[in-house]
Structure 1
Amino acid sequence: MEKYFKRTSSLEIGFQNNSSTSSNKRRFLEFEVDNLIADPGQRPKISSYHPNDRDKVRCAYLQKGPCQPRTHDFPQTACGSSFRRFNPNWFDDYGNWLEYSISKDAVFCLCCYLMKPETEGGDAFVTTGFSNWKKKERLQIHVGIHDSAHNQAWRKCEALMRPKQHITAAIEKQSEQAKKNYQIHLTATIDCIRFLLRQGLAFRGNDETDDSVNQGNFLELLNFLAQHNEEIGRAFKNARGNLKLIAPSIQKDIVRAAARETTKVIVDDIGDELFAVLVDEARDISIKEQMSVCLRYVNKEGQVREHFLGLVHVSNTNALSLKLALESLLETHNLSLSRVRGQGYDGASNMQGEFNGLKTLILKENSYAFYVHCFAHQLQLALVTVAKKQVEIALLFNLLTNLCNVVGASCKRRDMLRDSQMTKTIEALKSGEISSGRGLNQEIALKRAGDTRWGSHYGTILRLISLFPSVVNVLEYVEEDGNNSEQRAEACHLLNVIQSFEFIFNLHLMKNILGVTNELSQALQRNDQDIVNAMALVKVSKQRLQNIRDDGWSLLLDEVSLFCDKHDITVPIMDDIFVSQGRSRHKAQKISNLHHFQVEIFYQVRL
């Protein structure tokens, strides 16, 4: 079992982002019988000792017996209108477990301290001590009925003190080889589970029977180890039927142990320092609302750390429900909202609302919990505003969405797009227009843009510019051989639009703008980014956009004209009168093409 505990304790390091740093290793108290603290109010938790030493600590305390200073001059304490103090005669009534702490003037329970699991919640007789001396009946309430937590802890203490019935004696009866095989088997099982957890892979398959061709990741990985390691193979072969360590319940126990150890490392790394909370909402595959919570803090080495703390199921996503769920999660790990010095959410009203948002509810309790809107998200919102403000740009992104839907509507059309692009790439290589090399000229397809991730729009624009002639070929095919008139009409409309100078101009204009903001967005999303550097990056990006506005018109016009000439698209004469498509010509002002493209679009988009 010693090897098992060493492996388990290593889980607290293995699931961290920087598992190689020695600072994340957990430090346990050293066990020495002579140095055990007698006063129950001053003792450390049993979990602070190494797992291999905890039973020794328990035996030592049980052999010494409960701390009962009968000759102590017990102080009097005000209880209402009278003064009361601890009665040493209570030792006679509850002498096998009742302890008195001189430092805290309170009583504790020895067996619950030794054996009660920490996950069962707090108990005054274990944590802070009981000192309400006028309510002696609380002692009997603590003892409770036959199956109470106290009695269960007491029976565990009795079993520990009877070596013949303890599990250690049962294991010692087995042969040394059997114990060694069990350790090898258990170690292999834990290693497989750690691997699957680190890779984020599913454990179980649809059919885990012995005659299944694929028993799932966990069993297949175990079998692989057994087949390629003779020692592990023998241990698996000699394992008894009820000791295979492959049951789903055992898998879940080890996973929970890994999660607890990982979380303990994060909480211990924070220590008593301050931290910030990052909260977002998400739905799982079963359509249940989940609140994800991450902590951002500076560790003892001065390094900024950002770690995922947990997911909390919330039945209601209003601000009050989110606050209660956040408080509950923090309390589980002995953290408090009073130590929060930063809040990071998106712009949803229930998160950052000025009156009833989660931000405001926390600020009412802790005025130092400053709210910082996600910088990358703010950038996306700014770009959305630009798109909605300019009709031409909003229309551009609507056309891109329709184009992706039409070209990627079927596998046949996607194959046509890839084949056409392959042919044109080969021709370009032969003519020397492009060069060959490792990582160059990879097979690509049109990338669908996300509704809220505006960085994806930049990728869509780059793909369209690269695949433009192949996209035209696919649309021409749909126009001629579409399944119905609606598809043919839509393809004809898209052909006319994307082969117009205005579409190409807007496409390259947004490519240049989003190229600047995309670099900023990627930088703002880095984990090690700080607010001072972020503000500097914003300033640099704004200056780059201003430089494009001041000096970029000629470069943009040349770039667009070169693209149009290459693909046989008519370039209008800039001094001619602009003819608006889809607008009333009676009400339209007579302006030149130069004024329309330079003033109404180029300058307006960069305001």
Structure 2
Amino acid sequence: MNKIPWDPSKRKRMADYHPNQRDEIRRKYLIWRPNQPDIDFPYREFGKKKNRRRFNADWYDDYAYCLEYNEKEHKAYCLCCYLFRDNIKDSHHGHDAFIVEGFNSWNKPKRSVTHVGNRNSFHNRALKDCEDLLKDQSISAAMHRKSEIEKNEHLIRLNAAIDVCRYLLHQGQPFRGHNESKDSKNKGNYRELMDYTIKQNDVVAKAFKNAPENNQLLSPTIQRDITECFAKEILSYVMEEIGNGAFSLLVDECRDVSNKEQMAVVLRYVDICALVQEKFVGVVHVEETTASYLKSCIDLLFSQLGLNIKQVRGQGYDGASNMSGEFNGLQAKIMSENNSAYYIHCFAHKLNLVVVAITKKIFDVGDFFDMVSVLLNVVGASCKRKDQLREHHQEEVRKAIVCGEISTRTGLNQELSFQRPDVESTKRELEKLRTNERWDSLMRKVYCFCEKHDIPVLDMEDAYVNPKKPRQKTSINNEHYYRVDCFFAVLDLLGEEFNDRFNEAKLLKLAKHYPDDFNHKDMVTLEHELGLYIDNILHDTRFSILEKIGDLAKLMVDTRKHLSYPLVYRLVKLALTLPVATATVERCFSAMKIVKNALRNKIGDDYLSHSLICFVEKGLLDEITNEVIVDRFHKMKDRRGKNEM
């Protein structure tokens, strides 16, 4: 509003402004008054005799309410007709000189009288519209005349609505009720909680009592708008933390309760405190699951968030072909645009594939898992058997806690992400299991378990009897069968699968290829900087007890070594940015089952995404102040009762 020009020559046509802004702009011009400069008006020659005439300043007095003079073009205009030219139809006067081209025929002063015309003329109708506008006869203008008390009451109601929405979003609860009428026994969570707030707070009760029916802030539209405000503020915070830095993309798909395929998107990055963050930025309804369609959805989401595909430094998906396909998968399409966006197969899925491979190759192991599956089906089919199993399990847990076998601690299943596995150490531990000491230790545990549960103990020196062919003699004893044919076979396959699926050479290769982050000059400097860095931390005792690379990054920031060795810190950040597992995305799908359940299965896609962002990132939700939401809420659209700050 402060940028609208006063000079008639620089004004846009009123029809070019947004319809919701036109009355406000017209009122602004009328308050400013017409542009009537007091200058030495230049002469202009007319006719063959070249009679000299110029603008007469006395005309300002005759038409003080509308006549304007343009110093640049030296022409006269009518302000009233300019303001309402497009509102008055069926009049050729809407295009005369006083409105469009400007009037400069100073030798014909009577033209101004012709322009004004009779009482039904274009000019007089425009003048009447100006007077009505200044009398505040529009709804919008009437709202601008609200007293400070009314504005404060509007703010009280809005803050109450924000508090109720914050609580329901934090808990993942639905807002609407089946019957929200005044006589309903259950109006839904939003209205019931608002009624409770009104009963408990006299100030809020008074504000709602004095509120007009069209400004109660109880409608579903208001609820969705406030939810969107919270979600946009959370996303704004995450985007501000990422800035122009690098991040990894974690994506997975899941079908919701209404059979819609939803794609959850999580961004992994290192914040200013050197802490790894994995933030949920929304779900996208995907009509197809092809790699091309998923890529287009991600591009659209990035454009909405203000992110660039060039910032991606890692991709984390499961092993589905449309995601991880080397040639036509989603990871390949992103890599074609950004060769630094390396794909990392989720380590949790890899470990699961190791177990699957072993069950397929060793029949006894497969039979064991089949037996467990049958047992689960038998127990799960009966409520009575499930209750008995649950009671027995609770008793076993209680005994284990008393004797110290297990400890109680919260948050064990809420890790941000798995620690990057040390594959070599794991393989060394598998090799140690082959020793006699480890085998004897395992057998002692087996004997103890059998005695505890009254299971007959096999004599390991007896001949092994094949349960499928009991009459057929074998040339081995029980110890040879269980140790060599079963235990060692499992260890061999575990080592083989670890070598195939957790190739350390590939991970090391990733750290050497970041052309967008390290140019040739940086690589030369990095080699020198690394030498200085290693020598420095070897003599710093604070770096002697670190366990994880995340601890190293945080300590570098705490000791300000990230400023002394910026390239080393950049490399550490890139290593931390690489994804490990998609556990965070899986937890988002668990949250979706809470937010979108069978009774809330018609929630819109945008509303679902906004609600999920608030529910998953509830830590950020709690940090947002009401003042920020009020400001964003008022800027979303022109509202009744908007507080003019």
What TM-score comes out, normalization by structure 2 length?
A: 0.53
Distance 1:440 1:351, change over 3 A: closer
Q: Does 1:399 align with 2:288?
A: no
User: Quick check: 1:425–1:441 contact (8 Å CA) kept in 2?
Assistant: no
Q: Does 1:96 align with 2:11?
A: yes
Q: What aligned pairs does 1:363-402 form with structure 2 within 5 A after superposition? A: 363-402=335-374
**Which of these residues, 410, 420, 445, is aligned with residue 534 of structure 1?**
420
SS across alignment from 2:4 = helix
CA-CA distance at 1:251 after TM superposition: 0.8
* Whole-angstrom CA distance in 2 between matches of 1:420 and 1:298: 45
The one-letter code matched in structure 2 to 1:579 is V
* Whole-angstrom CA distance in 1 between matches of 2:138 and 2:145: 11
**Which residue number corresponds to residue 357 of structure 1?**
329
**Which residue number corresponds to residue 304 of structure 2?**
332
User: Quick check: 2:265–2:280 contact (8 Å CA) kept in 1?
Assistant: yes
User: Quick check: 1:340–1:369 contact (8 Å CA) kept in 2?
Assistant: yes
Q: Does 1:412 align with 2:384?
A: yes
User: Gaps spanning 5+ residues in structure 2: where?
Assistant: 23-85, 88-129, 493-645
Q: What aligned pairs does 1:550-569 form with structure 2 within 5 A after superposition? A: 550=435, 551-569=437-455
Q: Which whole-Å deviations, capped at 9, do the CAs of 1:484-513 have from their partners, x for residues lacking one?
A: xxxxxxxxxxxxxxxxxxxxxxxxxxxxxx
**Which residue number corresponds to residue 574 of structure 1?**
460
* Whole-angstrom CA distance in 2 between matches of 1:329 and 1:600: 53
- Using the TM superposition, name which of 564-573 and 234-243 deviates more: 234-243
**Which of these residues, 200, 203, 216, is aligned with residue 172 of structure 2?**
200
The one-letter code matched in structure 1 to 2:217 is L
Q: Does 1:213 align with 2:185?
A: yes
**Which of these residues, 197, 200, 214, is aligned with residue 225 of structure 1?**
197
**Which residue number corresponds to residue 273 of structure 1?**
245
**Which residue number corresponds to residue 225 of structure 2?**
253
User: Quick check: 1:171–1:179 contact (8 Å CA) kept in 2?
Assistant: no
**Which residue number corresponds to residue 501 of structure 1?**
none
**Which residue number corresponds to residue 62 of structure 1?**
4
SS across alignment from 1:576 = coil
Distance 1:284 1:441, change over 3 A: closer
Q: What aligned pairs does 1:107-122 form with structure 2 within 5 A after superposition? A: none
Q: Does 1:348 align with 2:320?
A: yes
**Which residue number corresponds to residue 481 of structure 2?**
596
SS across alignment from 1:311 = strand
| Structure index of larger Rg | 2
CA-CA distance at 1:574 after TM superposition: 0.8
* Percent identity between the two aligned chains: 40
* Whole-angstrom CA distance in 2 between matches of 1:565 and 1:304: 47
* Whole-angstrom CA distance in 2 between matches of 1:167 and 1:526: 54
CA-CA distance at 1:291 after TM superposition: 1.4
SS across alignment from 1:277 = strand
Q: Does 1:289 align with 2:288?
A: no
Stretches of 4+ aligned residues off by more than 6 angstroms? 165-168, 439-442
Q: Does 1:549 align with 2:438?
A: no
Distance 1:565 1:369, change over 3 A: same
CA-CA distance at 1:573 after TM superposition: 1.0
**Which residue number corresponds to residue 318 of structure 1?**
290
What TM-score comes out, normalization by structure 1 length?
A: 0.56
The one-letter code matched in structure 1 to 2:445 is E
Distance 1:354 1:417, change over 3 A: closer
SS across alignment from 1:552 = helix
Distance 1:440 1:308, change over 3 A: closer
Q: Which whole-Å deviations, capped at 9, do the CAs of 1:338-397 have from their partners, x for residues lacking one?
A: 222211111111111111111111112221211111122222222222222222222222
Distance 1:417 1:296, change over 3 A: closer
* Whole-angstrom CA distance in 2 between matches of 1:198 and 1:385: 42
User: Quick check: 2:465–2:474 contact (8 Å CA) kept in 1?
Assistant: no
* Whole-angstrom CA distance in 2 between matches of 1:97 and 1:566: 90
The one-letter code matched in structure 1 to 2:462 is D
SS across alignment from 1:61 = coil
Q: Which whole-Å deviations, capped at 9, do the CAs of 1:137-162 have from their partners, x for residues lacking one?
A: xxxxxxxx99xxxxxxxxxxx9xx97
RMSD: 3.7
- Using the TM superposition, name which of 400-409 and 295-304 deviates more: 295-304
* Whole-angstrom CA distance in 2 between matches of 1:348 and 1:419: 39
The one-letter code matched in structure 1 to 2:325 is G
Q: What aligned pairs does 1:431-450 form with structure 2 within 5 A after superposition? A: 435=402
The one-letter code matched in structure 1 to 2:323 is M
SS across alignment from 2:259 = coil
CA-CA distance at 1:183 after TM superposition: 1.2
The one-letter code matched in structure 2 to 1:403 is L
SS across alignment from 1:281 = strand
Distance 1:373 1:63, change over 3 A: same
CA-CA distance at 1:410 after TM superposition: 2.4
Distance 1:421 1:254, change over 3 A: closer
* Whole-angstrom CA distance in 2 between matches of 1:359 and 1:388: 29
**Which of these residues, 157, 176, 199, is aligned with residue 148 of structure 2?**
176
**Which residue number corresponds to residue 606 of structure 2?**
none
SS across alignment from 1:350 = helix
* Whole-angstrom CA distance in 2 between matches of 1:528 and 1:346: 15
Q: What aligned pairs does 1:462-477 form with structure 2 within 5 A after superposition? A: none
* Whole-angstrom CA distance in 1 between matches of 2:250 and 2:138: 46
User: Quick check: 1:304–1:528 contact (8 Å CA) kept in 2?
Assistant: no
Distance 1:165 1:352, change over 3 A: farther
How many equivalent residue pairs? 381
Distance 1:241 1:313, change over 3 A: same
User: Quick check: 1:206–1:215 contact (8 Å CA) kept in 2?
Assistant: yes
User: Quick check: 2:5–2:11 contact (8 Å CA) kept in 1?
Assistant: no
Distance 1:545 1:235, change over 3 A: farther
CA-CA distance at 1:184 after TM superposition: 0.9
User: Quick check: 1:288–1:313 contact (8 Å CA) kept in 2?
Assistant: yes
SS across alignment from 2:178 = coil
Larger RCO, structures 1/2 (Cα 8 Å, 6+ apart): 2
Distance 1:302 1:562, change over 3 A: closer
Distance 1:436 1:275, change over 3 A: closer
- Using the TM superposition, name which of 247-256 and 268-277 deviates more: 268-277
SS across alignment from 2:3 = helix
The one-letter code matched in structure 2 to 1:296 is R
Distance 1:354 1:421, change over 3 A: closer
**Which residue number corresponds to residue 188 of structure 1?**
160
CA-CA distance at 1:163 after TM superposition: 9.8
CA-CA distance at 1:320 after TM superposition: 1.1
User: Quick check: 1:184–1:232 contact (8 Å CA) kept in 2?
Assistant: yes
CA-CA distance at 1:224 after TM superposition: 1.9
Distance 1:418 1:309, change over 3 A: closer
The one-letter code matched in structure 2 to 1:96 is R
CA-CA distance at 1:211 after TM superposition: 3.0
CA-CA distance at 1:441 after TM superposition: 11
Distance 1:556 1:370, change over 3 A: same
SS across alignment from 1:309 = strand
* Whole-angstrom CA distance in 2 between matches of 1:336 and 1:374: 23
Q: Which whole-Å deviations, capped at 9, do the CAs of 1:580-605 have from their partners, x for residues lacking one?
A: 1124754x743110011111111121
